[in-house]
Chains A and B, each alone.
Chain A
Amino acid sequence: MAEAHPVGFQWVMEAKKRGARIIHVDPRFTRTSALAHQHVPIRVGSDIAFLGGIINHVLQNELDFREYVVNYTNAANIVSDKFEDVDGLDGLFSGFDPETRTYDPTSWQFAQEDQDGELGQAQADDAGDTAEQRDTAAGMQNEAHGMQVGSHPPRDETLQHPMCVFQVLKRHYARYTPEVVEQICGVSQEDFLEVCRAWTENSGRERTTALVYSVGWTQHSVGVQYIRAGAILQLLLGNMGRPGGGIMALRGHASIQGSTDIPTLFNLLPGYLPMPNAASHQTLSDWIDGVRNPGSKGFWANAGAYGINLLKAYWGDAATAENDYCFDYLPKITGDHGTYRTVLDMIDGKVQGYFLVGQNPAVGSAHGRAQRLGMANLDWLVVRDLFEIESATFWKDSPEVQTGEIVPEECRTEVFLFPAASHVEKEGTFTQTQRMLQWREKAVEPPGDARSELWFFYHLGRMMRESLAGSSDERDRPLLDLAWDYPLHGEAASSGWGEPSAEAVLKEINGYEVATGRLLSGFGEMKDDGSTLGGCWIYSGVYADGVNQAARRKSRHEQSEVAPEWGWAWPMNRRLLYNRASADPQGRPWSERKAYVWWDEDAQEWTGHDVPDFEKKKPPSYRAPEGSDGVAAIEGIDPFIMQGDGKGALYAPQGLIDGPMPTHYEPVESPFRNLLHGQQGNPTRKEYRRSDNPLNPDPREPGAAEVFPFVFTTSRLTEHHTAGAMSRYVEHLAELQPEMFVEVSPALAAERGLEHMGWCHVITARSAVEGKVLVTERLRPLRVEGRTVHQVWMPYHWGQGGLVSGDSTNDLFGISLDPNVLIQESKVGTCDVRPGRRPTGPALREYVEGYARRAGVLDHEEGPVVTASADAQQRSAAAQDGADQHSPQQREDQ
């Protein structure tokens, strides 16, 4: 955190001054470790084993916050007795289909006590085609949707029922003992128990613990399950929805939170509405029902209003009830359109044009060679950036030009480079990890031809509309019918080339009454009859009372600790989500020290330091009447109001492609066999097996360990920003870390003959990159499964451009993805390290291919993904058949 988020780290230092104990778990000793009380080195890619060990420690020693767990989580829910866990199935859950490598989650569901179909409907919806869900990263929608389970699953609040979630969880993690953690993670039992002790002692009524991670944590083939493991632990210890608790995702750039809220993702629309699917969302009501999921509790029941307001914001007067508010104009997805799929499609000649806006995939994305070869096979490429980055110059100076794979004279891609305004040269908002929007003013005019994104896209749209004006072609209607009128300002406004008003855009996002223009005070005012419009329901309220709430800058000294008048947080300026959980089931603070939001008996309403994340007048004693759903089904003790059952999910029967509970799988490339199961890696991961994407071999292949014996990982340096476009081109930053380097331990240096400050190169089946050797004790060999493993670390900031240049570390990675959200595994791989510089020119390819050949992966002959025993595969599939037979209800409802 000190490395990549030094400004945020000031608050950790502040907490440390006040007595907080800081623990840093990281493969290497970083600037964060330097300031932490304890550094725990861990083998890259073994985090679920580590967190699973802590979960086991909590459950075996009954250290969970029991009253919280019983009331606020799904610990008491009874799971279907058709469910079979990984221990009996060699690392698979029940319901696995080896053909598609996906699960049918029917057997994972909660048991049914009602036969009225309410639960069955909700559950069956998600028991659909998980192969399709994987392609469309459908799991992403659960980021804000929560699980769409039925409202009233059977419960055993004594937590004794053998199939209640608590017992299922306890059995699942029973194997994650301190000994096993030591074996898998290379973490000493002493260090491990110290972490357990600190975490549990600082959780409960009086204290809370925060789990903070940076997004490299997600970049694994089991990335989503990493976060799930953290969530389970925080729920067991009562650290969610309470001050000082939570899970903080430190984003990699300004407003990455904003870019999922108002997304730049292929499968989401603003406010986490799913992008309609051509197969399943033929009509507006199909789409809305797909979101609101009748039978579930919670606020998604109002999805119709949110969706229709978005359509009205897009198409204005053209969107009417008669034409389904132009629902047909929305593009529909048909499968995997993720960034890596698109890059491979570029190589295959299926993509003509591409926009890169503030992104430098030639350096920043996994498998740099594939990225560059893809971009070299387009008709046109638009690059908007501050400098002429590698993604704009790949055709003339990339490593592939040296190897002869790209010939500048023959490269067909026409590159259009547009200079972009930086964040101080344009107005707008940033949304940070706390979901807080902060308005920023334009400080200076952008230089030369540099312009904001808003300017670029507004005028691009305007010109396209002008060029199509008068067209009678039906396919041009979505563009021509767009509500595309924003006031312009600035010097060029009179000529029609002015800067669109970002405040006008924010007002549209907030939403207003169509007839009067009155700005909405929140999403509660959104109507599903076309009388209001709003571009992003969760942002509604940012312009409440006609005031730009995001621009508020009241000093923290003039307001409460929660600082509600600094900026504006969605939803409805709540600073802490699910904060109903900060009070006990009766609505009283868990402790004076941790009082945050509570039920005021006299006023008969929720009150406190923050905006209660609960219906203000719904008392803790409220119990839902039989048959209710939606908001009415949320009971007075259901803090997690966006979940289908209002409870925090220790066990996730739906929404995850790869299983209801995190289980340890080895990274796709690992020198170790999975100690726990025959199933080596995530069986459902997304893979693109093709000759230009070779993966290093499975450790059980003969010779694999000799060819690629070491583990490598990458991260950032404080001095640079990601792919370097904002630092390598800037004198005062570039000089701080002027060269690409490779960190190795003294022991590895001795083993491989590497000299401090000499050259070395790192090799995988994809490429070889070189750098200076930095020998440091900040990297330590670990003992894993009885043998020593060396970990190598590299920063990934360099490319051929800029004031300082060097090889790009991301060239080393192949493409394999998490099945839930299609994020790439780009924080762990296997490699070899050799002294001296790498070969250049065509010899580089021969050198790398020599490695691939020796490893047996040259012609994509990597071992199978599914390595669980054949018997286990059969039994997993059979368990599913049993589940189908025993619950015909679900199929009928579908």
Chain B
Amino acid sequence: MTIELEQHIDPTLIPILEKVHDPEIPVLSIMDMGVVRFAEVVNDIVLVKITPTYSGCPAMDVMGEDIISAFAKQNMKAEVSLVLSPAWTTDWITERGRKALEKYGIAAPLGEDLDKEALLGNKKIVKCTQCGSTNTKLVSQFGSTACKALFQCEDCLEPFDYFKCLK
């Protein structure tokens, strides 16, 4: 467990890393999630450092294994380690990632202040991923995974996940 202040990724490795997806949100590549903090070939071994979204996220172990097998397919040996600092934030999800989330049916995280208003139920601002209405209500602050909250649309009545803002 180390600290990796700046993101540093060898651009030639990006196409391979983009093939690895979050097992719990399969439309999102680990690059679009912003969890890859470091990737470089050192002495013929690809060293990859990833940061967890939440401390207990069980997807991290799977992502680590998937990274190793993605590189193995290219006949490259990879080693994966975890870094904790700086802590992951939803700001690191790329624009492409946000669009993929919405299309998949998960509302993308709002900014910090708006997120608070939404989760405290003060304002109706989270957009339904089915019909686009903002007439939605919070059902639970905790959803199917640690990173999501559960919402329901009061117009089309569909329940949907909202990716909580983490800053």
Partners in one complex: no
Query: B-side interface residues toward A, CB under 8 Å?
Result: none
